[in-house]
Amino acid sequence: MTNPFFEPWQNAFGLPPFDLIEDHHFNEAFDRAFEEHRAQISAIALNPEPATFDNTIVALEHSGALLEKVSGVFFNLVGSDTNEQRQAIEMAVSAQWSNHDSDLFANTALFDRIESLHQQREHLQLDPDQLQLLTTLHQKFVRGGAALADLDKLKVKAINERLAQLETRFSQNVLKDTNEFELILRTPDQTKGLPDSVLAAAAKEAETRGHHGAFVFTISRSSITPFLQFAEDRSLREKIYRAYVQCGDNRNAANNRSALTEIANLRRDKAQILGFSSHAEYMLADRMAETPLRVHALLDQIWQPAQNKVNQEAEDLQQQILAEGQNFELAPWDWWFYTEKVRSARFDLNEDDIKPYFHLPAVRDGAFSVANKLFGLTFKRVEKANLYHPDVEAYDVTGPNGDHVGLFLVDYFSRPSKRGGAWMSEFRGQSGTIRPIVVNCCNFQKSDPCLLGLDEVATLFHEFGHGLHGLMSQVRYPSQAGTNVKQDFVELPSQIMEHWALEPEVLKDYAKHVSTGQPISSTLIEKIQAANTFNQGFMTTEYLAASYLDLAWHESPQEETTDVDTLEQRTLDRIGLIGAVSPRYKSTYFQHIFAGDHYSAGYYSYIWAEVLDADGFEAFKDNGIFDQATAEAFQTNILERGGSEDPMKLYRAFRGRDPDVQALLQNRGLA
My answer on whether omega of the bond before 332 falls inside 30° of 0, hence cis, is no
Say if residue 350's pLDDT is above 90. no
Q: What is the pTM of this model?
A: 0.92
| pLDDT tens figures, 604-632 | 999 999 999 999 999 999 999 999 999 99
Which residues neighbour 475 within 8 Å (Cβ) at sequence distance 6 or greater?
129, 430, 431, 481, 640, 641, 642, 643, 644
Which residues neighbour 278 within 8 Å (Cβ) at sequence distance 6 or greater?
268, 271, 272, 292, 554, 555, 556, 557
Say if residue 561's pLDDT is above 70. no
The conformation of residue 533, written as its DSSP 8-state character, comes to T
Which residues neighbour 184 within 8 Å (Cβ) at sequence distance 6 or greater?
206, 211, 214, 215, 216
The conformation of residue 213, written as its DSSP 8-state character, comes to T
Which residues neighbour 93 within 8 Å (Cβ) at sequence distance 6 or greater?
26, 30, 74
| pLDDT tens figures, 537-558 | 999 999 999 999 999 999 988 7
Pairing type for strands 183-185 and 215-217 reads antiparallel
| pLDDT tens figures, 34-73 | 999 999 999 999 999 999 999 999 999 999 999 999 999 9
All domains of the chain in start order, with CATH: 4-105+107-144 (1.20.1050.40), 181-245 (no CATH), 257-349+536-603 (1.10.1370.10), 356-530+606-667 (1.10.1370.40)
| pLDDT tens figures, 363-384 | 999 999 999 999 999 999 999 8
Q: Quickly list DSSP for 414-456.
A: --TTS-SS-EEEEEE--BTTBPPEEEEEEEEPP-SS-B--HHH
Are the beta carbons of 30 and 70 closer than 8 angstroms? yes
Using only the alpha carbons of the chain, give its radius of gyration. Answer: 25
Q: What share of the chain is helix, strand, coil (3-state, %, to 5)?
A: 60, 5, 35
Question: Which band of pLDDT confidence, cut at 50, 70 and 90, is reported for residue 160?
Answer: very high
| pLDDT tens figures, 286-324 | 999 999 999 999 999 999 999 999 999 999 999 999 999
State which amino acid sits at residue 435: R
* Residue whose C-alpha is closest to residue 625's, from 496, 458, 525, 494: 496
Catalytic, out of 167, 340, 426, 463:
463
Q: Quick check: is 463 catalytic? A: yes
Pairing type for strands 404-413 and 215-217 reads unpaired
Give helix 491-501 / helix 605-623 axis angle, nearest 10°.
Answer: 50
Distance CA 302, CA 668 (A): 10
pLDDT of res. 560: 66
pLDDT of res. 1: 66
